[in-house]
Chains A and B, each alone.
Chain A
Amino acid sequence: DIQMTQSPSSLSASVGDRVTITCRASQSISNYLNWYQQKPGKAPKLLIYAASSLQSGVPSRFSGSGSGTDFTLTISSLQPEDFATYYCQQSYNTPPITFGQGTRLEIK
């Protein structure tokens, strides 16, 4: 199975900050990488698919990049509603689908 590792596990930032979250795959997954946002008590929401494509309705301050084994999710200017937990997920070699352990983004 492909292992996904996110860093950092948690992050404190302020409104307006630029934030980057990293996801690393245990082997090359081309661009088969998706990002999700989850708020407390809610289901995850797809933000980015195929490493860099923005899901419909997602604000343009979110962006994704990378290929192979290293990927990043960037929020260009944090908004209050962006404080949540973010997960990466590989869709290259399935089943199984595998997720990163999550990155909790907190208000500083």
Chain B
Amino acid sequence: QVQLVQSGAEVKKPGASVKVSCKASGYTFTSYYMHWVRQAPGQGLEWMGIINPSGGYTTSAQKFQGRVTMTRDTSTSTVYMELSSLRSEDTAVYYCARDLSQQLTHWGQGTLVTVSS
């Protein structure tokens, strides 16, 4: 069965960077795009970007351009999302989610990133 397992919670200081991983299993990794979505405490869902695990091509939301880097490692079926220049407003749960025609059919368990001095 499809599984997306994310890395554990992180605590970072303002100005630092964080890198969250999402390890996929149960399907052909390079056949499905992967999204990153975040959710601030008590807030809604915010799309961050998408990566094509086959070629590594990425597109990110305008809000995050210049601060977010999405990469993949096909040898371990893992995608990564790195967010730089962290500020308190970046405190959120970050999710990876597998794409099927822009439907997010399978989600990771989420990774809480806390930005605090």
Contact = CB atoms under 8 A, between A and B. Distances in A.
A43 B109 contact: yes
Contacts of B47: 95-99
B28 interface: no
Interface residues of B, number: 22
Q: Which of A32, A49, A55 has the most CB of B within 10 A?
A: A49
Contacts of B105: 46, 55
Contact of A87 (B44, B60, B61, B95): B44
B107 A45 contact: yes
Interface string B49-67: 1100000000111100000
Contacts of B61: 95-96
A31 to B, nearest CB: 12
A43 B108 contact: yes
A49 B44 contact: no
Contacts of A96: 47, 61-62
Given A44-B97, A91-B103, A96-B47, 14 more contacts: A34-B104, A36-B104, A43-B97, A43-B107, A44-B104, A44-B107, A45-B107, A89-B45, A95-B49, A96-B61, A97-B47, A97-B50, A99-B46, A102-B45
Interface of B: 35, 44-47, 49-50, 59-62, 95, 97, 101-105, 107-110
